[in-house]
Amino acid sequence: MKQLLEIILVAVAATTNVPSQPLGSTPTEVEASPASAAPVAAVQAPVLIRRDTPVVLMAISEVSTATAAPGTRIKLRVQQPLLIDGRTIVPVGTPAFGTVVAADDSGGLGKSGRMTARLQHIRLGDAEIPLDGEVSAKGTGAGSAGVAVIFTGVVGLFHRGNNAKIKAGEILSAFVSEDVMLDLTSNPIKRVAPTTSGAPQ
């Protein structure tokens, strides 16, 4: 009897050392690791700049028929940001370029210089955004007076016309000449092929 009592006491003592768990409770779940709990970053879709989107540019330096010739490059910059859905896609200061396509220097007898330039593209990262625009400049009337010896030997006066100029700080307007899709997530920014299922904005 004494041995049976000792066995019962040992069994009771053993059960008291086991942590109690509420009835109906489930085992504690293992917490997720930070790597598995981290949210997945959203993938940014390419941005479409539509054809005929207006662009405002500014000439950085003066171009004159005194020195310019067809093929002379004109350095410009974006003067107003290009926005898509309120978001700046092309910021102020982004470089742009044009090219002189015709240039006639001023001459004697009051002839004024004439110049025509074509606005070509904006450079955003590695992407070129083609532009459609043209600017013409003409000299303003007679310029300086000079002295010439006519072939008869008579000394006479002549007037030299003014050169045509695109002045530094002059504001120029252009339009995007075709749809342009940009991948803004790449570094530098790149132009990508348009999607066939509609153009994201």
Answer yes or no: is 67 within a domain: yes
Answer yes or no: is 194 within a domain: no
Q: What is the pLDDT along the chain (201 residues), one digit of tens a residue?
A: 556 556 666 555 555 554 555 555 554 554 544 444 444 444 578 999 999 999 999 999 999 998 999 999 999 999 999 999 999 999 999 999 999 999 988 665 556 889 999 999 999 999 999 999 999 998 875 544 444 444 444 444 444 568 899 999 999 999 999 999 999 999 999 999 986 554 454
Answer yes or no: is 83 within a domain: yes
Q: Give the integer Cα–Cα distance in Å for 118 and 174.
A: 10
Check residue 154 and report its DSSP letter: -
List the CATH number of the domain containing 153. 2.40.128
What's the total number of domains in the chain?
A: 1
Whole-angstrom CA distances from 147 to 107, 109, 144, 150 are: 14, 11, 10, 10
H/E segment holding residue 98: strand 95-104
Q: Give the integer Cα–Cα distance in Å for 81 and 55.
A: 8
Answer yes or no: is 16 within a domain: no
Answer yes or no: is 169 within a domain: yes
Answer yes or no: is 162 within a domain: yes
Residue 92 structural domain: 51-178
77: its two tokens: 């910059």
